[in-house]
Amino acid sequence: MSDATARDGDPVIEVGNEFALVSVRKVRTRNGVRLEIASPRLGHRIQLDALALESLTWQPMETFTRFLQTPFGPLETDGHAAERPDP
Amino acid sequence: MSAQGAGATGVPADVRVEVLEFLHHEAELLDDGRLDEWLELLTEDVSYAMPVRLTRERGQEPAVSAEMQFFQDDLATLRLRVRRLRTDFAWAEDPPSRTRHFVANARVAPGPTPDEVDVRCNVLVYRNRGASAASDLISGERRDRLRRVGGAWKLARRVFVPDQATLGVDNLAIFV
Amino acid sequence: MHSIDAVPTDRAAALLDRVRPEQGEVPAFLFSDPEIYRLEMERIFARCWLFVAHESEVPAPGDYVTRSMGEDAVIVARGEDGAIRVMLNVCRHRGMRICRADLGNSSHFRCPYHGFTYKNTGELIGVPFEKELYAGALIKDRMGLLQARVATHAGLVFATFDEGAGTLADYLGPMAWYLDLLAGRAEMEVVGPPHRHELRANWKLPAENFASDAYHTMHTHASIAEIGLTPSATWAKDGYHVAAGNGHGVMIGAPTRRFIFAEALRPVFRRRLAPEQYALLERLAHMPGTVFPNLSFLISAVTLKDRFVSHTELLQWQPKGPDRIDVHSWLLMEKEAPPEVRELSRQAFIVTFGPSGMLAQDDAENFTGITQNSRGPVARRLALNYEMGLGTAAPAAGVGPGQVLEGKYNEANARGFYRRWLELMRGRA
């Protein structure tokens, strides 16, 4: 569920490689701003504020390796398929 | 539609006909080995390029290298290539290939000056040599710029974008 | 236990007995026989140190290119730790090709078949529904991508899947000294992606040509002198023929009428090379060679548009069957080369030695013609002649390491190439 909205003129950046494609854009809340990262292929999105993003800057690549231990994301948490969120 | 029939492309119908005639005439010269006449169709500042094509994921397409080309010629080097083919030692083309340039789907758009047009077309070059029935096929898109010089169309720029990342040819001793 | 490797049959052993480099005899069947080819894949390409990439093709963490080692597909990737790894591009689950693009950047690789996910170090880290489906029994740590041993010299990345192979330094031997002139004289980078095209010829023909055959330039490339790119048809006669160890061969064109590199780069060369290497670079007119088995190289200088210009290139002959090569050729350039030199040098590379190159065109004609002939039931038995210089060549001193012979026209390096080939094919390496 998105409480923040993209403002016209904020560019959408796509970052892709052979294995994944995500779109990244700035979104506005009533009082601030977040960065939205969306995966159209798997149907997930996340909105990260500055503090959360800052914490990413000191993560070792191992953090992401751990995230990727379930390659399809929450579809397989608890060992059973969850419903895909609406993209 | 305008009286001249410029249509949606903004290029008058008679110009489109002239461009097609140019492309067909050029193909005839190449296939007949009339390379000195072919050189006459090029402007003094012609650039003739064939970039390297790459296999990339969707989203990075069309992956055409900006840094490396199979051809990167100007009039001086094109003349050199033709001169070489005229020597007695150009083994790659003696006996010569039999080629057929098929030029199709030409789209003509206005160029940056009133005397220029930009032409995109699909090209298939069939090439056969010797007694073997095996043949080369070179498929790609030409992105040409033609310029009217002294009343005649000339080729000022060609970028031939090949459809293969690994060219299926022993050599490129012909022109595309 | 039986090995699944191809072992030479009695027929293959009989074929090998007819390869007599010491007598200057190399039979034509070497250039198309399928049994010879199968044995080459296992005894040469699965054992030798093979070139896979130049360091500058994967400059940043996560950068990768896909390449071949013989007929095996590999990924050459720079990890987050900065190390370059070479891994079989084969998922350990069902054998699917994981990376299918020519190049890219990724910290992890995900197989298209079932989604098995690997770090770019090759470690298997993610298996979809692993807990549910494998009940914790799937041993991920023995399912990493198969790793090759990797070593570099002068920015050239080599790899081998043979655990028993010696070091790259041992493998290169005296050739390392000449590779410094080629690729270590300055900080070098490849310009763009390699040219790739298919050549309907056996891989050994261009490999031995670059190692040993200066003689052909006079006739095959006579057109080049005629149009003024080189001063005369015999431009490639003077210099040295160098057996550089382990089947490697290099030819030194010398002396030159004038310095073939950009003047501005002299201080860089002097700083990076040993005095003897720099002295040879000053005299160098051109330098073709082959690192056994299938990496060739060339420093070439021509007069193009009234300007004297050199370029440096790598050529790799990737075998794709007994009579097919996937040719890769890269332009190597000094990072500090002045812009106008870069541009002219690039054009010289393309008009002389790419697939449209005015020299490469005619070489291809020879390599394909020999390969076609070598299939004939009569022609295949012919012992082709590699006798030039047998027992008559004079050694030269003060050039560089290896066995240095006076004059470039010789066939000693081809004999050395096939001597090494024979040792490996017989399994005595």
What is the pLDDT, as a whole number, of residue A86?
Answer: 45
Q: Which two tokens stand for residue C245?
A: 């160890």
Contacts of B14 (CB under 8 A, 6+ apart): B4, B5
Task: Over range B71-79, report the average pLDDT.
Answer: 97
What are the extents of the domains in chain B? 13-162
Q: Cβ–Cβ of C361/B56 closer than 8 Å?
A: no
Per DSSP, the three-state class of C145 is coil
**pTM of full prediction above 0.90:** yes
Contact partners for chain B, using 3 or more CB pairs closer than 8 A, are A, C
Please report the residues numbered 53 through 82 in chain A whose beta carbons come closer than 8 angstroms to any beta carbon of chain B. none
B4 has pLDDT over 80: no
Q: In C, which residues are within 8 Å of B168 by CB distance? A: 197-198
* B76 to B176, C43, C143, C239: CA distances (angstroms): 17, 48, 57, 31
Q: Which two tokens stand for residue B68?
A: 């490396």
Nearest residue on chain B to A21, judged by CA atoms?
B59
Q: How far is A18 from chain B (nearest CA, A)?
A: 5
B80 in contact with C, Cβ within 8 Å: yes
Interface TM-score (ipTM) > 0.90: yes
Composition of chain A by helix, strand, coil, percent to 5: 25, 30, 45
Q: How far is C414 from chain B (nearest CA, A)?
A: 23
Residues of C with catalytic roles? 114, 213, 216, 221, 363
Q: In B, which residues are within 8 Å of C229 by CB distance? A: 80
Scored b (16 or more CB within 10 A) or e, B140-167 reads bbbebbbbbeeeebbbbbbbbbbebbbb
The candidate with the shortest Cα–Cα distance to B89, out of C287, C363, C368, is C363
Q: What domain count does chain A have? A: 1
Please report the residues numbered 89 through 118 in chain B whose beta carbons come closer than 8 angstroms to any beta carbon of chain A. none
AA letter at C271: R
Task: Over range A30-54, report the average pLDDT.
Answer: 92
CA distance B52 to B50: 7
Q: In A, which residues are within 8 Å of C117 by CB distance? A: 68-69, 71
Nearest residue on chain A to B57, judged by CA atoms?
A18
Contact partners for chain C, using 3 or more CB pairs closer than 8 A, are A, B
Radius of gyration of chain B (CA): 17
CA distance C353 to C364: 11
Other CB atoms within 10 A of residue A30 CB: 7
**Beta-ladder partners of C67:** C74
Q: Which two tokens stand for residue C425?
A: 């094919």
What is the pLDDT, as a whole number, of residue B5?
Answer: 57
Under 8 Å between Cβ of B146 and B155: yes
In chain C, which stretches have pLDDT less than 50?
A: 1, 429
What is the pLDDT, as a whole number, of residue C258?
Answer: 94
Q: Which two tokens stand for residue C159?
A: 């790899």
What is the pLDDT, as a whole number, of residue A1?
Answer: 41
B54 in contact with A, Cβ within 8 Å: no
CA distance B129 to A64: 55
Instruction: Give the start-end residues of each E strand in C11-71.
Output: 25-27, 50-54, 63-69
Contacts of C316 (CB under 8 A, 6+ apart): C51, C194, C294, C295, C296, C327, C328, C329
Q: Which of B50, B73, B166 has its CB closest to that of C326?
A: B166
The conformation of residue A46, written as its DSSP 8-state character, comes to: E
What is the pLDDT, as a whole number, of residue C421?
Answer: 98
| Whole-number average pLDDT of chain A | 82
What is the pLDDT, as a whole number, of residue A87?
Answer: 39
Residues shown for chain B: 176
A87 in contact with B, Cβ within 8 Å: no
Q: Which of C191, C219, C227 has its CB closest to that of B68?
A: C191
CA distance A24 to A43: 14
CATH architecture of B13-162: Roll (3.10)
Q: What is the largest CA-CA distance in chain C?
A: 74
What is the pLDDT, as a whole number, of residue C60?
Answer: 95
Task: Classify residue A85: in a domain, yes or no.
Answer: no
Nearest residue on chain B to A19, judged by CA atoms?
B57
Instruction: Concatenate the DSSP letters of all residues of C54-81 into one string.
Output: EGGGS-STTEEEEEEETTEEEEEEE-TT
Nearest residue on chain A to C113, judged by CA atoms?
A19
Task: Classify residue A27: in a domain, yes or no.
Answer: yes
Backbone angles phi, psi at B82, to 5 degrees: -70, -40
Task: Classify residue A75: in a domain, yes or no.
Answer: no
AA letter at C263: E
CA distance C36 to C32: 8
- Give A4's pLDDT tier (boundaries 50, 70, 90): low
Q: Which two tokens stand for residue A51?
A: 């503090």
What is the pLDDT, as a whole number, of residue C154?
Answer: 98
Radius of gyration of chain A (CA): 14
Nearest residue on chain A to B58, judged by CA atoms?
A18
* Domains parsed from chain C with CATH numbers: 50-164 (2.102.10.10), 175-425 (3.90.380.10)
C156 in contact with B, Cβ within 8 Å: no
Position of tokens 């929450």? Answer: A74
CA distance C197 to C194: 10
CA distance B170 to C367: 10
Q: Cβ–Cβ of B60/A21 closer than 8 Å?
A: no
| Percent share of chain B, pLDDT over 70 | 95
Task: Over range B70-80, report the average pLDDT.
Answer: 97
What is the pLDDT, as a whole number, of residue A83?
Answer: 45
The chain A residues in contact with chain C (CB within 8 A) are 17-20, 61, 64-65, 68-72, 76, 79-80
Q: Cβ–Cβ of B52/C362 closer than 8 Å?
A: no
Q: Cβ–Cβ of B59/A18 closer than 8 Å?
A: no
Under 8 Å between Cβ of C315 and C206: yes
Q: Cβ–Cβ of B171/C366 closer than 8 Å?
A: no
Mutate to test the interface with B, among C56, C106, C197 (most CBs of B within 10 A): C197
**Beta-ladder partners of C149:** C160
What is the pLDDT, as a whole number, of residue A80?
Answer: 42
Q: How far is A31 from chain B (nearest CA, A)?
A: 35
Residues C317-368 have pLDDT tens digits of: 999 999 999 999 999 999 999 999 999 999 999 999 989 999 888 889 999 9
Task: Classify residue A22: in a domain, yes or no.
Answer: yes
User: How many Cα atoms sit within 13 Å of C263 on the Cβ side?
Assistant: 2
Q: Which of C105, C110, C128 has its CB closest to that of A76?
A: C128
Under 8 Å between Cβ of C196 and B166: yes
A55 has pLDDT over 90: yes
Please report the residues numbered 14 through 43 in chain A whose beta carbons come closer than 8 angstroms to any beta carbon of chain B. 14, 16-18, 21
Domain of A59, in residue numbers: 12-70
Per DSSP, the three-state class of C396 is coil
Other CB atoms within 10 A of residue C11 CB: 10
B145 has pLDDT over 90: yes
Nearest residue on chain B to A17, judged by CA atoms?
B57
Contacts of B104 (CB under 8 A, 6+ apart): B121, B122, B123, B124
What is the pLDDT, as a whole number, of residue C343?
Answer: 94
Q: CA torsion angle for B20, B24, B30, B33 (degrees, to 10)? A: -140
Q: In A, which residues are within 8 Å of B60 by CB distance? A: 16
